[in-house]
Amino acid sequence: MDRSKLYRRFRTLLIANRGEIACRVIRTARAMGLRTVAVYSEADRDAMHVALADEAVLLGPARARDSYLNVERLIEAARKTGAEAVHPGYGFLSENAEFAQACLDAGLVFVGPTAEMMTAMGSKSGSKALMEKAGVPLVPGYHGEAQDDATLSKAADKIGFPILVKASAGGGGRGMRIVRSAAELAPAIVSAKREAKAAFGDDRMLIEKYVDNPRHIEVQIIGDSHGNLLSLFERECTLQRRHQKVIEEAPSPTLNAAQRETVCAAARKAAGAVNYVGAGTIEFVSDGKDVFFIEMNTRLQVEHPVTELITGIDLVEWQLRVAFGEALPLKQDEIKLNGHAVEARVYAENPTKNFMPSVGKISTWRLPAETGGLRIDAGYREGDTVSPYYDAMLAKMIAWAPTRDVAIDRLNRGLEDSDVRGIVTNIPFLSALITHPKVRANAIDTGFIERELAALTSGAPAPGELELCAAVAAIVNDERQVAQGEAKSPWQTFGWMPLGRRQRSFAFRVGHGPELKVTLNYGSGPSTLVIGERELAFTVARKDGGFDLTLDGVKSSVAAVIDGHELYLRTRNGRFDLHWVDPFGGETEEQAGADKIAAPLPGTVVAVLAEEGAKLEKGAPILTLEVMKMEQTLRAPYAGVLKSIKCKVGDIVQEGVELAVVEASGE
């Protein structure tokens, strides 16, 4: 093949992706002097990546298959804008061999490996066969072509339980199930196949031995068209939930120098089996002693920033230079490991409600400055809308330091100083996770989060004196700011109240808990706050995003967001959501019952698991929705009879729509 068609210099780059990776690629491409073209769906019309690019092309409706996954529209977008190359980012079509070939056929440079390399390494089954031939250590398993139930069942019995059922074309934990007994196998395969078909258009499965107490270690590799192939050290991605990585770090704190060289050499050997060109990742599972090849990702990874921070290498820049046809600028012995980096994935999801995705408009977006070893790769801004159509990741926060302990401390401080409102995020969960003593001690495996979930999602403590005083200060502070523009407004003088009143009462509530009361005394002399029998002197000094509250001589920094009668506060004790009870009455209670079987978010019905008329125990599964690429099973809220099902498989349902009715048994 004429390599000039594969690798050549270009001036205009189309990024066939969205969110933070599109923004990430745009920044490096523009720094290299390239023109950038974004693509977007109708749901992303006002998205951040659209604003950053030099040009942007509408692909179609919100659903990914009608926009970001439509190869013809992507190729046409490149033609319209004069783009000469395409960067696929990660996810979507990044590991799709047909897309890579379509770009080549259209005369476009594909920033990544060739279709042939993707086909060889992108299939989990095919790559395992290739690695076995190359002598790379493998987890015992079945990766054959036969996919009938009898073959898969026989393979599972031969391997021995527990096993892992995995989508051959998969990634990101989708189409993957842990099976601990023969009785669990058939339903696990059905569910995994359905999820794999929806996510990848391919429901082929492989089976491999499940490694108990496993650790996930991966090696970043990159090759050029001149025969150079390098490894850029390893990352540890053991902290996972539902097989999705949550925290990543580099280098692995598990490996010593000798083990590091062994696994990196194995990664180079694996990539060398297909003469790999471009950026990719060789993934291994470790039982604490040995490492086994599990798969190769023929693309850039979400967690690539931790590798960039410990090597000083911009991987996107290197990807583009390889696509230009250039040789890699460094040799293997010139790549040096410097310090430690840790990354946390910030998602729009509610950890206290089984990580249910959260959608809506971002009303507040306050993240710390990227200084002191902190880096933030974001795909959203204040005012942006998080839709239910795509992955719920908002941003990545990455911290670098000379040592792992300091990197963890820096990352935690960055998370603690972040306030995102309007949607629910996993930021408090991430902070609790990385500060867990066992995480600090690296005493973890891939099941750690599930085992510790209750402790990690325990929620904020009850508000104390500091928080109640801060709530009053936030309200008064807000009222003063509103009044500042009014000429000769009495509110500009702190403490003024009509009719000469010298006291003001406040009541707050957390959820449906009891009212918590605070009295503000003001007038001549210092203002005070009274909680119960205690009277506390206080002063307030405003600052961006909140204020400094001095309470009985102790100054504390407070972040505050007020939305009507809802208050969000962040103090040294954590994050708090308070409801300010309307002093003039008019409070209403939410009437939505917990027994309503309704769609929690817009989604697609992918399975009906019970029949009308069936007797159900409390918690029995009724139906499954696919919401933001994740399956959510709706269950019976109490024992009873399934009176009716108001949907069928394939229905697209909106948030709040009732999907089934259960008649209580009366017991």
Q: Domain containing 517 — which CATH number?
A: 3.30.700.30
Q: Are 124 and 295 in contact (CB under 8 A)?
A: yes
Residue ending a domain, among 456, 478, 500, is 456
Domain boundary among 412, 431, 456: 456
The span from the CA of 638 to the CA of 636, in Å, is: 5
Contacts of residue 525, Cβ cutoff 8 Å, sequence gap at least 6: none
Query: Does 587 map to a domain?
Result: no
H or E element, residue 150: helix 149-159
Has residue 135 been placed in a domain?
no
Domain count for the chain, please give it. Answer: 5
Q: 255 and 404 share a domain?
A: yes
Distant-in-sequence, close-in-space partners of 33: CB < 8 Å, separation ≥ 6: none
How far apart are alpha carbons 125 and 113 in whole angstroms? 19
Q: Is 341 part of any domain?
A: yes
Specify if 590 maps to a domain. no
CB 610 within 8 A of CB 621: yes
Helix-strand-coil split of the chain, %, nearest 5: 30, 30, 40
Q: Is 339 in a helix, a strand, or coil?
A: coil
Residue 199 shares a structural domain with residue 248: no
Cβ atoms 536, 551 nearer than 8 A: yes
Q: Is residue 512 part of a domain?
A: yes
CATH of the domain at 192: 3.30.1490.20
In the chain, how long is the greatest CA-to-CA distance?
Answer: 89
Q: Are 508 and 463 in contact (CB under 8 A)?
A: yes
Distances (CA, A) of 151 to 178, 190, 661: 18, 14, 39
Active-site amino acid positions:
299
CATH of residue 312's domain is 3.30.470.20
Tell me the pLDDT tens digit for each residue of 583-594: 765 554 433 344
**pLDDT (0 to 100) of residue 247:** 98
Q: What is the CATH number of the domain that holds 641?
A: 2.40.50.100
Question: What pLDDT, on a 0 to 100 scale, did the predictor assign at position 587?
Answer: 53
352: its two tokens = 């206290």
3-state DSSP assignment of residue 191: helix
User: Are the C-beta atoms of 305 and 398 separated by less than 8 Å?
Assistant: yes
Classify residue 285: in a domain, yes or no. yes
Q: Angle at the Cα of 367 (from 360 to 309), degrees rounded to 5?
A: 120
323 in helix, strand or coil?
A: helix
- Report yes or no: 375 and 410 within 8 Å, Cβ to Cβ: no
How many Cα neighbours within 13 Å face the side chain of 634?
A: 31
Helix spans in 368-440 (H): 404-416, 427-434, 437-440
Token representation of residue 204: 């082929």
Low-confidence residues of the chain, pLDDT below 70? 1-4, 124, 171-172, 483-501, 584-595, 628-630, 666-667
Q: What are 166's strand-pairing partners?
A: 176, 206
- pTM, two decimals, is 0.82
Q: Which of 473, 537, 539, 552 is nearest to 506 (CA)?
A: 473
Tokens of 287: 């039982």
Contact between residue 193 and residue 185 where contact means Cβ atoms under 8 Å apart = no
For residue 130, the surrounding DSSP H or E stretch is: helix 124-134
Q: Read off the tokens for 420.
A: 């995102």
Cα–Cα distance, 412 to 417 (Å, whole number) = 9
Q: Are residues 58 and 178 in the same domain?
A: no
Length of the chain: 667
The half-sphere exposure of 636 on its side-chain side, counting CA atoms within 13 A, is 24
pLDDT of residue 251: 98
Residues 302 and 340 in one domain: yes
Residue 227 in 3-state DSSP? coil
Same domain, 185 and 307: no
221 with 163, same domain?
A: no
Facing residues of 244 across strands? 241
Whether the CA torsion 340, 345, 346, 350 is positive or negative: it is negative
Q: Identify the pLDDT of residue 192.
A: 92
Q: Domain range for residue 622?
A: 597-664
Is position 323 within any domain? yes
Q: Are residues 412 and 470 in the same domain?
A: no
Residues 30-43 as b or e (16 or more Cβ within 10 Å = b): eeeebbbbbbbbeb
CA distance 310 to 253: 13
Give the model's pLDDT for residue 665: 77
Say yes or no: 426 and 496 in one domain: no
Note whether 18 and 44 are within 8 A (CB): yes
Environment class of 561 (CB within 10 Å of its CB; exposed 0-12, middle 13-18, buried 19+): buried
Using alpha carbons, select from 640, 54, 32 the residue that is nearest to residue 322: 32
Report CA 194 to chain centroid distance, whole Å. 22
Pairing, β 35-41 against β 55-60: parallel
Whether residue 517 is contained in a domain is answered as: yes
Q: Kindly report the three-state secondary structure assignment for every residue of 497-555.
A: CHHHCCEEEEEEECCCCCCEEEEEECCCCCCEEEECCEEEEEEEEEECCEEEEEECCEE
Residues 201 and 274 in one domain: no
Are 174 and 284 in a shared domain?
no
* 158 shares a domain with 45: no
Give the domain-ending residue among 165, 189, 209: 209
Rounded Cα distance, 49 and 378, in Å: 10
Give the CATH number, domain containing residue 24: 3.40.50.20
The answer to whether the CB of 416 falls within 8 A of the CB of 559 is no
Q: How many angstroms separate the Cα of 408 from the Cα of each of 181, 245, 324, 596? A: 38, 17, 37, 42
3 state DSSP class of 632: strand
Could you tell me the two tokens for 379? 């795909």
The C-alpha atoms of residue 200 and residue 179 are separated, in whole angstroms, by: 22
Tell me what pLDDT residue 484 has.
63
Q: Which of 52, 7, 4, 2 is nearest to 25 (CA)?
A: 52
Residue 488 has what pLDDT?
41
pLDDT of residue 491: 39
CB-hemisphere CA count at 13 Å for 399? Answer: 22
Is there a single domain that holds both residue 270 and residue 332? yes
Q: How many Å apart are CA 40 and CA 45, to the nearest integer?
A: 6
Query: C-alpha distances in angstroms, 624 versus 597, 598, 654?
Result: 12, 11, 14
Is residue 224 a contact partner of residue 326, using CB atoms and an 8 Å limit? yes
